[in-house]
Amino acid sequence: MTETRVRSRLSDRLTSRRGAWISLGLGVLLMVALFGIFGSAEAPSRTGQAPAASEASAVTELMDQFPDSDVQPVLVVAARDDGGDLTSADLTALEGLIPVLDEQASDDVSGPAVSDDGKAAVLITPITVGADNTETAEVVKALRADIADSAPDGLTLQVTGGPAFGADVASAFDGADFTLLLVTILIVAILLIITYRSPVLWLIPLIVIALADGLAGRVTAAVGSAWGFGFDAGIISVLVFGAGANYALLLISRYREELQNTDDDRRALSVAWRKSVPAILASNVTVVLALITLIFATIPMTRGLGIPAAIGLVIALLAVLFVLPPFLAVCGRRVFWPFVPRPGQIRQRRSAWRSIA
């Protein structure tokens, strides 16, 4: 059986009256099953910014061999709210803060040490740091909460030092993945609305791509955990949404063209699927192969991104090729409302939309 005939039979099954419902149901069931299987997977933390053979990694390994290598000092800096010199009462109040700091400290708290100009004082608080900045951030957060509840009147207390700086860097990315995903969805939605000029059609590919992104996030987390890959999940989402929207545009644009040649919308969708598959596959395979080459990168974070990103794009491909077509087939031609393409329509050779395209 030739490749063309196989594609023809498959596309007809995906878009037929009964086959569309069966295909859509099977696709949804498979996604739900995979969500259940990989739902609890968590990707490993993003560590290892330096190559294993680098001097920085060698120094880190040597430092871990020292006693109490996991203990680092946090500095609690105090200054008066009015900017004046610290009084003896202020220093006494800071000394009274030491028992509060001891709750998070792993060793004796020293200080307060007063600056030469008398305007600031420092309490040095050793803490046990975590395996990464995210874990350390929890300790620093608890320390800051304790200080805020017990801060002396008239004094401003701020926490700094190496562990606190690392915690602040980690917290700077809190919510970044959600923000990145939200902005990506909005951009894709706007582009789809502008492209299709329909208040309905843009929702269909967006729903399919969103499901693919959710599934890709869980599968890649499981792969990352199993193989020890550290990567940024936000980048995976951007790739899935970007590539998925591109594949959907290729399919739906060809579908619109075929609707202008026949009254049978299922036949038009079947032809569009067969004609657009080569371009979609070529686009996907090119990017997937390029991403796989990242396994040769020396930086762990970069190397860890390649395989999960490639898996995410494959999931986007499968969703667009096998879930989106039956979804469109079930909805029919009317999904293009209010500009429903029909055979015999008069096409303007140089319309505004054709010029933009």
In CATH, what number is assigned to the domain containing residue 211?
1.20.1640.10
196 with 96, same domain? no
Using the 3D structure, point to which of 152, 171, 190 is the last residue of a domain. Answer: 171
Domain assignment present for 204: yes
CA 64 – CA 57 distance, rounded (Å)? 11
Q: Does 188 share its domain with 45?
A: yes
- Burial (0-12, 13-18, 19+ Cβ within 10 Å), 163: buried
Question: Do residues 88 and 199 both lie within one domain?
Answer: no
Number of domains in the chain: 2
pLDDT at 47: 57
59 lies in some domain = no
Strand partners, 159: 76
User: Are 132 and 265 in a shared domain?
Assistant: no
Among 120, 138, 171, the domain boundary falls at: 171
Residues 184, 166: one domain? no
**One domain, residues 345 and 223:** yes
Name the token pair of 36. 């259940």
Closest to 12 (Cα-Cα) out of 342, 341, 335, 329: 329
pLDDT value for 174: 66
Q: Which two tokens stand for residue 340?
A: 């429903």
**Same domain for 197 and 344?**
yes
- Identify which of 174, 220, 299 has the alpha carbon closest to the alpha carbon of residue 44: 220
User: What's the CATH code of the domain at 151?
Assistant: 3.30.70.1320
Predicted local confidence at residue 56, as pLDDT: 66
- Given CA atoms 309, 311, 317, 322 in this order, what sign does their dihedral have? negative
In this prediction the pTM is 0.71
Phi, psi angle pair for 73, to nearest 5°: -85, 140
Residue 306's closest CA among 240, 230, 244? 230
Express each pLDDT in 140-179 by its tens digit. 888 888 887 877 888 888 888 877 787 777 676 666 667 7
Contact 230, 46 (CB under 8 A): yes
In a domain, 95, yes or no: yes
The total of other beta-carbon atoms located within 10 Å of residue 64's CB is 9
Judge whether 26 lies within some domain: yes
Residue 119 shares a structural domain with residue 199: no
- Residue 188 sits in the same domain as residue 281: yes
Cβ contacts of 320 within 8 Å, gap of 6 or more: 205, 208, 209, 212, 244, 247, 248, 251, 280
> Based on the domain organization, do 136 and 249 belong to the same domain?
no
Please give the structure tokens belonging to residue 231: 């990567």
Q: How far apart are CA 151 and CA 100, in angstroms?
A: 10
Name the residue range of residue 153's domain: 71-171
d(CA 251, CA 124): 63
Do 300 and 240 reside in the same domain of the chain?
yes
283 within some domain: yes
Expressed in angstroms, the distance from the first to the final Cα of the chain is 38
Neighbouring C-alpha atoms within 13 Å toward the C-beta of 45? 10
User: Do the domain assignments include residue 58?
Assistant: no
Cα–Cα nearest to 208, from 318, 334, 333 = 318
Q: 3-class secondary structure for 148-164?
A: HHHCCCCEEEEEECHHH
Q: Does residue 57 fall inside a structural domain?
A: no
- Residues of the chain with confidence (pLDDT) below 70: 1-3, 7, 43-54, 56-57, 60, 63-64, 66-70, 130-134, 170, 172-177, 344-357
**Is residue 66 one of the residues assigned to a domain?**
no
What lies within 8 Å, CB to CB, of 340 at 6+ separation is 259, 333, 334
Last residue of a domain, one of 171, 192, 224: 171
Answer yes or no: do 320 and 340 share one domain. yes
Spatial distance between the Cα atoms of 240 and 197, rounded to a whole number of angstroms: 23
Give me the residues paired with residue 75 across strands: 124, 160
